Amino acid sequence: MIKQTLIFLATVLAGFVVSGCASFEEGSRQNVQVLSYPSGANLFVNGAPMGTTPATLSLPRKIAHEVRLEKPGYATAIDYFKPVPNTKGESFLRFGLEEDLGHYVDLQPRSMQLQLRSELVPHSTGADPFKTMAEHTREADRQLEAGNITAEEHKYIIEQIIAFFEAQG
């Protein structure tokens, strides 16, 4: 009985030590939010799949995290959560454990909002900008009619196409 109790206590202690090591290296966790427009993009953090957007994640706060969004019909979007000193970090006096656990930094931004660029938006205006715009608009219409995109996504894509041509002047 005593031997079993000692084995149990040793196992529990080892679990605390192992899990504690990761906390010291990467810091305590912070909840962050990832939003995309349109929503429903596949979400990867540091290369690992994390579901779809919108999502709330709990990430270690002492290290940077790469966020990658992928959605069929849209260009891949990449951004980063980065550790930034918080108001506690401005303190002259710091305590070891608090610093080891990352309490002097916060991941920024707390809420990441990524606008996905439709692959239907052209990369150049071509020789005849009006013809190019009409072709891309018609393709968005076909995607809507085929049920590949929602009416809301169609509106968003048309707005992106118009904005592209307005920016070209």
Asked if the model's pLDDT at residue 146 lies above 80, the reply is: yes
- Please give the helix or strand (H or E) that residue 64 lies within, else none: none
| 123 belongs to a structural domain | no
* 24 & 87 share domain: yes
- Report which of 94, 113, 115 is spatially closest to residue 103, judged by C-alpha positions: 94
* 108 & 138 share domain: no
* 60 & 26 share domain: yes
| 13 belongs to a structural domain | yes
| 36 belongs to a structural domain | yes
Asked if the model's pLDDT at residue 97 lies above 90, the reply is: no
Distance CA 58, CA 79 (A): 17
Encoded tokens for 144: 């809507």
**pLDDT at residue 1, as a whole number:** 63
Residue pair 109/124 in contact (Cβ under 8 Å)? The answer is no
- Write out pLDDT tens, residues 35-91: 999 999 999 999 999 999 999 999 998 899 999 999 999 999 999 999 998 876 565
| 31 belongs to a structural domain | yes
Distance CA 21, CA 8 (A): 20
DSSP bridge partners of 58: 31
* 67 & 140 share domain: no
* 7 & 80 share domain: yes
**pLDDT at residue 62, as a whole number:** 86
Domain end marker among 70, 91, 115: 115
Distance CA 29, CA 12 (A): 21
Torsion of CA 146, 152, 154, 158, to 10 degrees: 170
The pTM is what? 0.75
Ordered DSSP codes for 16-35: HHHHHHHHHHH-SEEEEEEE
* 88 & 24 share domain: yes
- Total count of domains within the chain: 2
| 10 belongs to a structural domain | yes
Q: Which residue has the tokens 């000193």?
A: 85
Task: Report DSSP state, residue 151.
Answer: H
| 7 belongs to a structural domain | yes
* 67 & 135 share domain: no
**pLDDT at residue 68, as a whole number:** 98
Q: Which residue has the tokens 């990352």?
A: 102
| 124 belongs to a structural domain | no
Q: Domain containing 157: what range?
A: 129-168
Asked if the model's pLDDT at residue 95 lies above 90, the reply is: no
